[in-house]
Structure 1
Amino acid sequence: MRAIWLREFGGPDVLVPGTAPDPTPGPGQVVIDVAHANITFVETQQRSGRPGPFQVTPPLIPGNGVGGVITAVGPEVDVVLTGRRVVSATGGSGAYAERVAVDASAPIEVPAALALDEAVALLADGRTATMLVETVGIHPGDRVLVEAAAGGVGNLLVQIASRAGARVIGAAGGPRKVELLPGLGAELAVDYLLPDWADRVRAAMGGIDVVLDGVGGAVAGAAFDLLEPGGRMVSFGLASGEWSPVSAEAATARQVTLVRPDVPPARLRAYTQQALRDAAAGHLRPLIGQRFPLERAADAHAAIEARATVGKTLLDVS
């Protein structure tokens, strides 16, 4: 089968097209014929060898999320699963390929009303966005600042928070991304690359109640300063390359709660299923900003690292 190999750490060009043996399902496993593979920012960090909680060891086929059709089952697995459209995590590797074997309990069936590419776009990001909104607690009338609002998670956060009745401020980097935000449900859209972005938010909203921090670094610090007493802040990304610098002591002094989700795996699965149901019902629309054929995985990584992407980036495998 066709696959993308990571044989050494480095820039995007270390992702090299090649071949790999077709997987055979072992006991308790199924094989998925992959139509689309999910790409996350974390995977670009893994490829570069950057230290972090999800490090990998080359050589391997990268990727941790796919969507496709179950085409084979192993011993002790019900053959009724064959032919089902599913999305699935792959256990940390193996997704940038035509086929992958996973534990039979891993795949999640895709609702009939939902396109498979949209389901893949929601596999990780929809789960994260749904979890964050529930964990931080968003109520009608809350002033909610979403950072990296044109990103894979951020665009979903804007939609979910807006649907919950919040007044959403979307912050994104650059005019092209900012222009997308009103269409997603943002009442105010600002460019966090401009020095007066926080002043614009304060002038329009007075202060804010919730920060959903996907940027970290100085942007997270400025967002924290906008929070009113009783506000909540949760960090889910580091588009700046740095996590939020806000300390627990600073939050306590400002009467702000730093929310740190701690969710068991079973609950994460439920969040994915919820995101898929919401999308199938028309309540959530993943923004697929760009797609690349499998052989151009290196170009996909380069685009993400250059901050040239909006929404979700997919690899189209078949």
Structure 2
Amino acid sequence: MSVRALVVDPSASAAVRLAEVPDPVPGPGQVLVDVSHVSLNYGDLNDARSGRVPVGAVLGSDAAGTVVRVAADGTGPAVGTRVVALTPGAFAERVAIDVRALATVPDSLDPAKAVALPVAGLAALRSLRAAGLGPDKRVLITGASGGVGRFAVQLAARAGAHVIASVGSAARAEGLAEAGADDVLIGLAGLHRPVDAVIDSVGGPQLVAAWHLLAPGGSVQSVGWTSGEPAVFPPYATVGPARSLTSFIIEGDTGEDLAVLTELAAEGALTVEVGWQGPWDHFPEAAEALRERRVSGKAVLEVTGGEG
């Protein structure tokens, strides 16, 4: 038996192609899920070209669908349950998923919205937590128009922080004030007062500039590097009152935090913006739009039965 999947192929457009792969075999603590939607992240594009995901392996981390086989150890949701998950090799028609990596999708939440939550939503939630988010904190969020950024703006505002959203152009600023940003800036122009925390997904010179804005005791969480540019710190930039620059990655069980995000989204307390949606055989189109920063929010691919 086999299933179709998006696999890494350096010779293909966007370094990814549709292919047949073996039907997944679940472990004792895994359910089998028929996937209906997957979400494309900027990191997936890098994984396809960097070698982190080997040639021929299935790409992706974000999947939503329906449980078709329960876990052998009796844990996890029943057959027929709609779920969303953070799992390696997500871009396939059927995936074996650890029960600790998934959450049930509430009836009121569209799976195309739910699938946008795992990587971007968890990165926003956990990086803000690691940065010491709290009421009255001044929080700078770079790349605020992207998937992580839009969630971070909303979650920081919900926590009572003063939220400063940084974007690359005026067109990318749309909707951020309504999402909870107190200030929306093009780059870091006009920002002079120190900030207590930075959630940075841009890297490069903007990361250096954000570091210089950080108040004593503050933290920069480096969650991405979409600029692709080096960050060069001048001499003595890191000498002085204690501040931290922390690399960030999503680790450990994610199910509980993912459940928090799905409930917030279902209640309307967390808005999920899907800026691109289409069938998964249009992957190159979605990848190009994401790489060229023409997607506000998330890019969602529908897992369909045939090629267009």
TM-score by length of structure 2 reads 0.87
1:257 equivalent to 2:244? Answer yes
For the Cα contact (< 8 Å) 2:29–2:98, is it kept in 1? yes
SS at 1:96's partner residue? coil
State how far apart, in whole Å, the 1-side matches of 2:124 and 2:45 are: 20
Deviations 1:44-89 (A, max 9, x none): 01111x26xxx12111222122100012346555796100011123
For the Cα contact (< 8 Å) 2:123–2:249, is it kept in 1? no
For the Cα contact (< 8 Å) 2:140–2:164, is it kept in 1? yes
Question: Counterpart in 2 of 1:208?
Answer: 195
For the Cα contact (< 8 Å) 2:99–2:255, is it kept in 1? no
For the Cα contact (< 8 Å) 1:28–1:76, is it kept in 2? yes
Q: In structure 2, list runs of 5 or more residues that go unmatched.
A: none
Instruction: Give 1:275 shift.
Output: 1.6
For the Cα contact (< 8 Å) 2:61–2:119, is it kept in 1? no
State how far apart, in whole Å, the 2-side matches of 1:234 and 1:33 are: 35
- Structure 2 counterparts to residues 171-210 of structure 1, below 5 A: 171-192=166-187, 197-198=188-189, 200-202=190-192, 206-210=193-197
The percentage of counterpart residues that share the same residue type is: 32
Question: Counterpart in 2 of 1:231?
Answer: 218
Instruction: Give 1:146 shift.
Output: 0.4
TM-score by length of structure 1 reads 0.84
SS at 1:265's partner residue? coil
Question: Counterpart in 1 of 2:136?
Answer: 141
Question: Counterpart in 2 of 1:63?
Answer: 60
State how far apart, in whole Å, the 2-side matches of 1:134 and 1:104 are: 24
- Structure 2 counterparts to residues 1-318 of structure 1, below 5 A: 1-6=3-8, 8-9=9-10, 12-23=13-24, 25=26, 28-48=29-49, 50=50, 55-73=52-70, 75-77=72-74, 81-90=78-87, 92-93=88-89, 95-192=90-187, 197-198=188-189, 200-202=190-192, 206-242=193-229, 245=232, 250-260=237-247, 265-266=252-253, 268-318=254-304
State how far apart, in whole Å, the 2-side matches of 1:223 and 1:137 are: 17
State how far apart, in whole Å, the 2-side matches of 1:150 and 1:111 are: 26
Change beyond 3 A, Cα 1:103–1:256 = closer
Q: In structure 1, list runs of 5 or more residues that go unmatched.
A: none
Deviations 1:123-148 (A, max 9, x none): 11111111111111122222211000
Instruction: Give 1:255 shift.
Output: 3.4
State how far apart, in whole Å, the 2-side matches of 1:264 and 1:43 are: 17
Q: Which moved more, 1:64-73 or 1:22-31?
A: 22-31
State how far apart, in whole Å, the 1-side matches of 2:58 and 2:249 are: 29
- Superposition CA RMSD, Å: 2.7
Q: Which is helix-richer, 1 or 2?
A: 1
State how far apart, in whole Å, the 1-side matches of 2:291 and 2:231 are: 19
Change beyond 3 A, Cα 1:289–1:98 = same
State how far apart, in whole Å, the 2-side matches of 1:248 and 1:156 are: 34
